């Protein structure tokens, strides 16, 4: 049975702005307005880019509640959940459901790595007990475990598993998975640099880091791909390609938060264990920003 995507186009994996003593909720609300003005379709709150592993339960819950409140009726809201304790993941999913989120993004379990059979059990356990649609997040570079095509096929049978944020970077394996699952799973690119090739093979958009600072460009790229105008999409993609690359010159979200602060967006510091960019990579980021026409302060 074909799945209807929770959203199409650009979803911003939004950063979390910090004050010295906590989350800057006022600035966070401003960032949501900036995304709406830029044509963003959805907000991913408490994702990797949002430094969710550093949040207290209270901060996580407040960010989710505020995002739903500010986005309601304007942009879809996806809540990042996940970890190595399935029951705790379920509790986060239940909170997202109670708040009225449109979906959850559930990352594969890390550290206590499971098998492919275990992945099916882990995702199914939550999907069986929570009505909010699920997006599976496959990012083996961070978690040490990847979802295989046959596993996707098994998970695609669950009515509450809507799709996948695919951030493996393996386009050939993604193409194989698409050929096996058809429209029973919706796919989104999990890397800005993979947006065009993945959308040419049926993905419905991107969960983006770059759109934190260039939301209109990322939204336009998705729009061109969705309309099938891959010639124009390629021209835009080539203009953005170096910036996409430089946003991952160090561990995300170090470069994007640095870029936002350089652009005068004042999103505060990173939380340990993340630290400031090295001077050499920071200079390369600034050069890429200037080449794209982004001013720095």
Give per-residue pLDDT as tens, 136-177: 999 999 999 999 999 999 999 999 999 999 999 999 999 999
Nearest residue to 137 (alpha-carbon basis) of 167, 117, 113, 162: 167
Catalytic residue among 165, 220, 246, 257: 165
Tell whether the model's pLDDT for residue 87 goes beyond 80: yes
Tokens describing residue 101: 């989120």
User: What does the chain come to in residues?
Assistant: 297
Residue with the two structure tokens 């509790």: 91
Strand-pair partners of 223:
none
What are the pLDDT digits (tens) for 16-64? 999 999 999 999 999 999 999 999 999 999 999 999 999 999 999 999 9
* pLDDT for the residue 30: 98
Catalytic residue among 28, 137, 174, 237: 137
Q: Please indicate whether residue 165 is annotated as part of the active site.
A: yes
Tokens describing residue 111: 């550290």
Cα–Cα distances in Å, from 269 out to 18, 47, 64, 282? 6, 17, 21, 15
Determine contact, residues 133/102, Cβ cutoff 8 Å: yes
Q: Please indicate whether residue 237 is annotated as part of the active site.
A: no
Tell whether the model's pLDDT for residue 265 goes beyond 80: yes
- The Cα 97–Cα 94 span in angstroms is 5
Confidence of residue 4 (pLDDT cuts 50, 70, 90): very high
CATH numbers and ranges of domains, the chain = 9-239 (3.20.20.70)
- The Cα 95–Cα 251 span in angstroms is 29
* pLDDT for the residue 1: 72
* pLDDT for the residue 13: 98
Claim: this prediction has a pTM higher than 0.95: yes
């Amino acid at each position: 049975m074909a799945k209807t995507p929770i959203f199409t186009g650009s979803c911003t994996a939004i950063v979390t702005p910090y004050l010295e003593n906590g989350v800057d909720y006022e600035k966070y609300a401003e960032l949501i307005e900036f995304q709406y003005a830029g044509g963003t379709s959805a907000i991913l709150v408490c994702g990797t880019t949002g430094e969710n592993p550093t949040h207290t339960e209270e901060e996580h819950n407040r960010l989710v509640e505020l995002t739903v409140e500010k986005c309601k009726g304007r942009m879809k809201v996806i809540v990042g959940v996940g970890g190595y304790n399935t029951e705790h993941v379920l509790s986060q999913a239940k909170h997202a459901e109670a708040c009225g989120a449109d979906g959850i993004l559930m990352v594969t379990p890390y550290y206590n790595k499971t098998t492919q059979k275990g992945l099916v059990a882990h995702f199914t356990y939550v999907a069986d007990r929570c009505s909010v649609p699920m997006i599976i997040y496959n990012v083996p570079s961070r978690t040490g475990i990847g979802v295989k095509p046959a596993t996707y096929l098994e998970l695609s049978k669950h009515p509450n598993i809507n799709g996948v944020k695919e951030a493996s970077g393996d386009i050939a394996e993604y193409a194989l998975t698409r050929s096996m699952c058809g429209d029973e799973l919706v796919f989104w690119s999990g890397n800005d640099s993979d947006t065009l090739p993945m959308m040419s093979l049926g993905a419905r958009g991107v969960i983006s880091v770059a759109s934190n600072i260039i939301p209109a460009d990322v939204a336009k790229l998705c729009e061109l791909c969705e309309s099938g105008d891959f010639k124009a999409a390629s021209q835009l993609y080539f203009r953005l390609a170096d910036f996409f690359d430089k946003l991952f010159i160090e561990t995300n979200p170090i470069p994007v938060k640095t870029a936002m602060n350089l652009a005068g967006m004042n999103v505060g510091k990173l939380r340990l264990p993340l630290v400031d960019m090295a001077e050499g990579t920071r200079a390369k980021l600034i050069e890429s920003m200037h080449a794209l026409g982004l001013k720095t302060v």
